[in-house]
Amino acid sequence: MSRIGYKIIEIPAGVTVDCKDDIVTVKGKNGELTQELTEGITFDIEDGKLQLKRPSDSKKHAALHGLYRSLINNMITGVSQGFTKQLELVGVGYRASNQGQRLELALGFSHSIILELPKEVAVTTETVKGKNPIVTLTSADNQLLGMVAAKIRAFRKPEPYKGKGVKFVGEHIRRKAGKSA
């Protein structure tokens, strides 16, 4: 059984954590995030350290204890440092460009894919001759960032023979041998 919920969260300078009506609000230099606590999970803040508490040792409370600890830790990390995900477009003719929050992808279809990103996610595209285009997404909200990155990747998942498609930078694609002549 995991004991992640018992780990103490260090609150960095410049970050404030408040709780009102079971809604946790975390404010920092990168913005403000909120999360609702359920099932009697509470927390105490002492000397810049946050400790979550659960009402009983039941399986459900233990699972929620670790979940909310991870969510609050991600919120604190997000408003203080932020999160970044990089996607690489592997394939001949695959391109990416952006104008503000509008991302335009050319992924080998007969048309370009235009995706309007949420205002909480900042996007930059980098195209260097001889290298694959890279789309960099940054946000304070780790859940939203993961959903946006997964949606972009779902437009053209990497295929196992040549590895063409949208993949995360550093992701290893299991390759198949193909036909032997």
96 is in which domain, residue-wise?
Answer: 83-168
Q: In the prediction, which pLDDT does 36 show?
A: 92
Residue 175 lies in a domain: no
pTM above 0.85, yes or no: yes
Residues 72 and 98 in one domain: no
Q: What is the pLDDT of residue 43?
A: 86
17 and 38 inside one domain? yes
Q: What's the pLDDT at 98?
A: 93
Which of 65, 80, 95 finishes a domain? 80
Domain-terminating residue out of 80, 98, 115: 80
Tell me the per-residue pLDDT of 115-152, one tens digit each, with 9 for 90 and over: 999 999 999 999 999 999 999 999 999 999 999 999 99
Spans of the chain, pLDDT less than 70? 1, 181
Cα atoms found within 13 Å of the Cα of residue 141, Cβ hemisphere only:
17
Tell whether 41 and 105 lie within a shared domain.
no
Last residue of a domain, one of 57, 80, 103: 80
What does the pLDDT read at residue 181? 61
- Could you tell me the two tokens for 12? 């960095």
113 near 155, Cβ under 8 Å? yes
pLDDT score for 1: 57
